[in-house]
Amino acid sequence: MSDPAFLSLAQAAQAVRSGDIAPHALLHACRARIEHWQPRINSFISQEEHSGNPAGALAGVPLAHKDMFYRAGCVSNCGSKILRGFVARETSTALTRLDEAGAIQIGTLNMAEFAYGPTGHNEHWGDCRNPWNTEYIAGGSSSGSAASVAARLVFGALGSDTGGSVRLPAAACGVSGLKTTWGRVSRHGAMPLSASLDTVGPLARSAEDCALLLGAIAGLDPLDPLSAREPIEDYGAAIARRARGLAVAISTAWIERDAEPEIAAAVLAAASVLRASGARLIEVEPPDFDTLSAHCLVVMQAEASAQHAKWMRERPADYGSAVRARLEAGYAIPATVYLEALRLRAAWLERFCSTTLAAADLYILPTIGVRVPTLAQTGPMGGTDMPRLLAQVTRLTRWVNYLGVPALAIPCGFDSRGLPISMQLVGRPFAEATLLAAGHAFQSETDWHQRAPT
């Protein structure tokens, strides 16, 4: 067999079940790649091993997770100096469910400090780098999760998404990332940032792999009072629906006007693939991304700053400069503005479902409308243009968090510099199965998700 690290998660799980490969062979392949890649991309924080149920559906498959999912007796640093060496007293529900499914956790992964940054910079643990070109950002805040999956160091990883933190790194690194519906996956035992926006979701090589991971972690959790009672689907079976009969909303003129040319061309070509697979394309006016993103930013900054109030009073110098600045900005938001943003949320969601998705099952657009920037452009020395560039990077993801709906980011091409391009499929609340089916249909006709950095 060729290097088993290049199997998909679905293939690896099936190979273990059939006896065609032993779990230790998968572990050895991943460990060998980690040894080679870690000095280059800095995606791992720790290497450890926690075995799961040997009879589970994911038995023997090596995973690693963002360093903010607590495991009792183990360290979770949350990408920070303040929690460096913090030993958790409980295990997150998401990790417990992956253990029950049989997956093996082989490490914890680099992330933006306290999950509060879109690029992968980290002043305390070192920047995570893009495996396609280490001069470029890996995206954030789940930077190590995306970089590790892209470099074939693990078969999948958990991330969190509050303003794009699963989808942005998935886009930058050329992997698949699912932002789940708010409440779909328990957040118990995961570091909080913004209670009204935080979601937990998988990053993997394909929509099929994301479906398997979601099936393991989704569902009501009595330990998380905000987890949803909505029944879960058989996401693995759902992808067999393919795209035939799906109605896909798209704003072609807006994409051509607002996205950079290479991005626009790749996303429109991807939409054509879905149409050729049996989907109907429906032209619609785009949502008001900027207004929705502004509401999201108000909620995120206010809640994150409240979450960190004690440490900001007692240990402000122990924050990285960028995170400290974001937290300070949150204290300037009036309570009336924050509460108004929360009050308007239901109306904006109803408008999205009744207008953008009035005759459609999902909406397609770029994940990032500009080409992936460099670490230097977006870091502390990025200059006066840095804030504008960061706003462009996050413009098309935050609105989804504000509405609380699911979104799937999947690769759909490469730009002229050899860096990935990603499209985003957005659906109604709890429509993860529809998004995964559409993503799988696209990936059944293309090979962008199978390409790996060398």
Contact 168, 140 (CB under 8 A): yes
Task: Report the alpha-carbon distance of residue 355 to residue 375 in Å, rounded.
Answer: 38
SS3 category, 324? helix
**CB-based burial of residue 96 (10 Å sphere; 0-12 exposed, 13-18 middle, 19+ buried)?**
buried
Specify the residue for token string 């190979």: 15
- The owner of tokens 């949150």 is 330
Active site residue 179: no
Of 268, 320, 316, 289, nearest to 402 by C-alpha is 289
* Catalytic residue (choose from 8, 43, 66, 176): 66
**43 labelled catalytic:** no
CA quadruple 31, 35, 39, 45: dihedral sign = positive
User: What is the C-alpha separation between 103 and 9, in angstroms, rounded?
Assistant: 10
Residues 6 or more apart in contact with residue 51 via CB below 8 angstroms: 104
Of the candidates 8, 143, 148, 165, the residue annotated as catalytic is: 165
Q: Is 165 a catalytic residue?
A: yes
∠ Cα 318 86 157 (to 5°): 100
Angle between helix 432-445 and 207-217 (nearest 10):
150
**Catalytic entry in 141, 148, 206, 227:** 141
Burial class (CB in 10 A: 0-12, 13-18, 19+), 150: buried
- The Cα 67–Cα 438 span in angstroms is 30
Catalytic machinery residues: 66, 141, 165
